[in-house]
Structure 1
Amino acid sequence: MTRISQHSSIKVSWGERLVIAFPILAFISMIWIYAVNVPWLDDVDVFPDFLGKFLSSNNWDERWYLLFKPNNEHRVVYAKLANLLHYALTGTLNMRTLTIASNVTLFGILWIFWRIVRDNKLKAIYFIPIPFILLQPQYYLTSLWTITGFQYQPVIFWGLMGMYLLSRQTIVGFITAIFLVFFDSFTMSNGMFYWIAGLVILCLQGRYKELLVWAIFMLLTIKIYFLNFSNEANDLGFKYFAQHPHESFFGFFTHLGGSFDFFTDWEIFKRSVLPTIAGAIMVSIVGIWIIAFLLFSDKLPFSLLKLNLKENYFKRLHQRISENSSNYIILGGLIFLLINALVIAILRPRFGYFVMIVGNYKIYPAMFFAFTYVIVATTWLKEKSHIWIKGIIGLAIVFNILSYGKFLPEVHERRKDLLTRVYNQQYNQIGLGPAIHTPFYDYVNQAMGRLTAQGIYTYPKGFYTGYEQDLSKPLSNFPDLKVDIHPTPDGIVIDEKSLVHGKGLNDGTYLILKSQTRTYLFYQKSPHWWGRTYQGSSTLIPIKTYEPDKYKIGVIHVLNNQVSFFDTKQEVELKL
């Protein structure tokens, strides 16, 4: 057995190292395999468009403006700096490389959890559930979407690093924490919630001079952040909240329990039941811990100790919690997550209740789940038999396996969908999110055209690479295949019932729409679980994703890297 570091009293066996490494390597493998060089929707604003405009500007006033300009509801300085750094090192824009890099802060978060376990003098076995809880694909719309990867994960990490430094109670740590939380506020707007967490921590520590300085910097940050900032979207959220307060009440628990959202195909009410119950249970556990830590501290003017001098459970619990300074990190992280959940529950239901458990938010409930476990481990299981922790490890492994079983097929399908869309962008100037002939459509084409003309961005290879000549041939050159066509309000649905779906990286049934001047590809993501063989496909051709014309319909079938072309002998006239 070896020490994890020269300063640590934790010894880690090779068996424990192997178990800890498994979820880490599995997660890294997923990111490496499924990250693609495709800017999607909000990516265009922060990466291709920002980089092109920044490089073409000779005015530093304009460059500073571009760096701090809000993108939707956030100023995303960290993402833009990463974009510039990548360009400085490579001379290119590569969304795959940036996506992989965006996940680095996740491992910084994992390191912070390790420090909490170490500082609580727990054995390494208590750390094992954390990577299984945290490193999984439920939040793939963060870990595999570049813009959200440079927002949601780093906003947690930089803020937690600030709380970690405050917990050290040194002047250098305090100054660095101010810088980190200031930077975090411009990584994503909810980073400002860490200022509130810092106020609470400094108050608990009795560091009132530093508290005053912290408050001044907090107010300055808020003033700078909201300078020339539009709050119209938030105003609409508050109006909806006033009319539907019950959605926000339940949405708070649903969001925090989002790690238990395994039935994503169910209608929203049934789907939300398990996350809401799980969220309520975890909030109850966290609530007991926070009450003991905060309300029974003699550092606070509203301490319950002044109301009740008798010995009770909360007093004993407070003594146990306050013994270790690393619990300030936990408290800071929980304050951030609880305020964040409250804001989401108030402002987001107007888009639909499903937003409480939407994929790109799920890093937050994963963090809340991990913190809840850490609270239980450091507060109640610390002196218990290892049977308890071994049982929790087993449950964490089951949770991780279920998460991969449910969500990895979605990750698998999303990659094929994005590579099909980027083909249409490359050859038809439509595919990265906008509807055709809209302001956003023109904006995307200008941003992409600016970088491709300079060779800064190169379109990625897909399954179709090397088959461009086949795609240019008349469909009548290929074997026949029967399909059925159904018009729907969302577009045209084309059903095929004979081709088998494989499990390979590019395996699937792709639709060809071919006119005299254009060739489009479409792919319909399949919700199927792995481990079963499926036959047939149903592909939607969404409205406003093509130029109006008469199109012949063809099919590409990929199975075990074997590519086959078919002619359906059918034609469809598509209009806007």
Structure 2
Amino acid sequence: MIKYGRPIPVIFAIFLPILLYLIYAISNSAPLFYADDFQLLNTVLWVQEVDGFWEKLAILMNQHNEHRILLPRLLTLLDYKIEGSINWKTLILIGNLIWIGNLWFFWKGFSHFKWPVWMFIAIPFIFLQPQYIDNVTWSISILQQSVIIFWFSLLTYLCSRNRYNWAILVAVIATFTHGNGIFSFIIGITLALLDRKKRTALIWVVVWLIVGVIYFWHFVKGQNADFGKSFSDPVRLISSFFAFFGSLTRIRTSNANAAVLLGTGMALILAIYLIPKLNALRLKPMSILNGFDKMLLGNILFLGITGALVSVSRSWAGIETVLAPRYQHYAPYVLCWVYIVVLSFLNIRSRKVVAGLFIVFAVLFNALSYFTYNTDIQYRKNWRVADESNWINHVVMLDYVGSLNRNIKETYQEVVAAGICKMNDNFRGVAQSDSLKQVAYDLNFSQETIRNEDASGAYQYQSQIIENNNLRGNTFIYLKSGNGIGYWLPTRRQHSGILEFLKTGKLSKPGFRADFLQENFPAGVYKIGLYNNNKFSWATQTLSL
């Protein structure tokens, strides 16, 4: 690599998307748990309520959906021990740093071919962007969905270096990070057999059986999984499998068929590269795969197993379910490997052209991803900021249905009282006076029915909507009935079109939309306040709930 040099502009271009991503993730993190993060905070509380080692271990090993999330729980407990309370921003930072660590394995694969360093620039730009919004600022999703990819990357790298003893430890850790981790043993066994290491493969099988017994002890099927319904439609099932790897298309189109086509194309490219390699092993029994090929094969096995598991458990509800944001980080991961494989097919001149074009594509895709998903990520953060105030003042979180509020109420009161979670009212003193000037904001009101479904049944909720078509800037809504303290709601803005952004320089269109569940509010007539760009005023209109 030395003969190619590593000029400062190239190094800067490689590290720029890393710095941008970290800054973006940190700045959009919030100090309040989100959704299933509750599983992490109640673990810290329950572990302290029991004395015995085995009782504590049982709590840490408790099943969450289809997963035994021992590692995410241990990281949460460790953060609590170090900081004195759970710092969700710290957990998000840890998860994202581990996620970024995958770039090192891409580099090891890329450097196998001894290409110029500048050709690597495309990989961090494709890999680090906010399209997979759940895995940017949601602690438990990052610590499972993102971290498990790092463990698989590390495992395949260790196996490619014939370090199977260390790799088997990684397989155990992966098993207790995310549900698909237990299948890492298949990868280790396969690679060991390809390396003619039958004794090593046997050891892996024995450890796998032991770990499997522990993992599936008192195991129950997750509430979102329905294998029977998924297998009832083979076309949908197969389409979901390929769509799982092609979700990059969601950045511009919601058409699931586009994701299916892209995923199929990328799978075909990887197959064209690997099948001849595996066929050569059959023709030459004493030959083995080189380090890069073993890394690639191990990762493809991991991706194939993961895609199959998600498709079998989730596709019953439609192809769109496997395109959920928490799964979309797999697509850029696949594309980075496809990029390296495509370059390996080409001669020097063609390789330079394709690498240059792909760098342009990667930079544009990265920018488009920030442009497209920024409003969603900010909206999630603003919900956390608003609900922190709502909980302090009303012991309710308006982002959640009433049944969930009732389920978390007692436990969350305990963790706050015990200092396990700390809270701060960011709106304290913002809306103190009823005599502030009233402004005619031209608010529109409507209602809609929200329908959710899992494998156990369907549920409906009534949502209230408040909209405005002309106000610009970040806006929170304040609803107050009588003389008490009011409730805060975030608003969602719509991002501008690309041409509109280029003409005006505005990331968002004017106006906003706020939607919330009526069941969380006491009946009454509510005054409406707007906190827009750090300035508060009352609207002339009111809302009856």
1 CA distance for matches of 2:541 and 2:374?
35
User: What residue in structure 1 maps to residue 452 of structure 2?
Assistant: none
1 CA distance for matches of 2:33 and 2:161?
40
User: What residue in structure 2 maps to residue 243 of structure 1?
Assistant: 232
User: What residue in structure 2 maps to residue 314 of structure 1?
Assistant: none
Q: 1:151 Cα deviation (Å)?
A: 0.4
Is residue 13–residue 121 contact of structure 2 (8 Å, CA) maintained in 1? Answer: yes
2 CA distance for matches of 1:371 and 1:395?
16
Residue in structure 2 matching 1:387, options 341, 350, 353: 353
Aligned residue pairs, count: 524
2 CA distance for matches of 1:143 and 1:385?
32
Q: 1:16 to 1:497 in 2, by over 3 A?
A: closer
User: What residue in structure 1 maps to residue 189 of structure 2?
Assistant: 199
Match status 1:556 vs 2:538: no
Match status 1:324 vs 2:283: no
Match status 1:523 vs 2:494: no
Is residue 511–residue 523 contact of structure 1 (8 Å, CA) maintained in 2? Answer: no
Give the aligned CA root-mean-square deviation in angstroms: 2.4
Deviation string for 1:436-486 (max 9, x for gaps)?
A: 2x2x32332223211211223211453x2442xx25x43x54414343333
Residue in structure 1 matching 2:257, options 261, 266, 273: 273
User: What residue in structure 2 maps to residue 312 of structure 1?
Assistant: none
Match status 1:230 vs 2:220: yes
Q: 1:408 to 1:540 in 2, by over 3 A?
A: closer
Q: 1:412 Cα deviation (Å)?
A: 2.4
Is residue 44–residue 447 contact of structure 1 (8 Å, CA) maintained in 2? Answer: no
Q: 1:381 to 1:277 in 2, by over 3 A?
A: farther
Is residue 60–residue 73 contact of structure 2 (8 Å, CA) maintained in 1? Answer: yes
Deviation string for 1:521-571 (max 9, x for gaps)?
A: 12232232364363333322323232x320313121322xx3122133424
> Which one is further off, 423-432 or 336-345?
423-432
User: What residue in structure 2 maps to residue 310 of structure 1?
Assistant: none
Residue in structure 2 matching 1:67, options 43, 60, 64: 60
Amino acid at match of 2:260: T
Residue in structure 2 matching 1:539, options 508, 514, 521: 514
2 CA distance for matches of 1:97 and 1:460?
17
User: What residue in structure 2 maps to residue 139 of structure 1?
Assistant: 132
User: What residue in structure 2 maps to residue 501 of structure 1?
Assistant: 472
SS in 1 for 2:115: coil
User: What residue in structure 1 maps to residue 9 of structure 2?
Assistant: 15
Matches within 5 A, 1:149-168: 149-168=142-161
Amino acid at match of 1:35: S
Is residue 137–residue 403 contact of structure 1 (8 Å, CA) maintained in 2? Answer: yes
User: What residue in structure 2 maps to residue 342 of structure 1?
Assistant: 308
Deviation string for 1:489-514 (max 9, x for gaps)?
A: 3322223344x222xxxx22424243
Deviation string for 1:405-425 (max 9, x for gaps)?
A: 211232223222221122222
Return 5+ residue gaps in structure 2 as ranges: 450-461
SS in 2 for 1:564: strand
Residue in structure 2 matching 1:458, options 422, 425, 441: 422
TM-score (norm 2): 0.90
> Which one is further off, 188-197 or 346-355?
346-355
Match status 1:514 vs 2:478: no
2 CA distance for matches of 1:206 and 1:536?
64
2 CA distance for matches of 1:238 and 1:385?
44
SS in 1 for 2:464: strand
1 CA distance for matches of 2:45 and 2:243?
40
2 CA distance for matches of 1:210 and 1:383?
43
Is residue 75–residue 189 contact of structure 1 (8 Å, CA) maintained in 2? Answer: yes
SS in 2 for 1:492: strand
Matches within 5 A, 1:162-311: 162-169=155-162, 173-231=163-221, 233=223, 237-263=226-252, 266=254, 271-298=255-282
1 CA distance for matches of 2:348 and 2:76?
44
Match status 1:447 vs 2:431: no
SS in 1 for 2:334: helix
TM-score (norm 1): 0.85
Amino acid at match of 2:62: K
User: What residue in structure 2 maps to residue 129 of structure 1?
Assistant: 122
Sequence identity percentage: 22
> Which one is further off, 442-451 or 95-104?
442-451
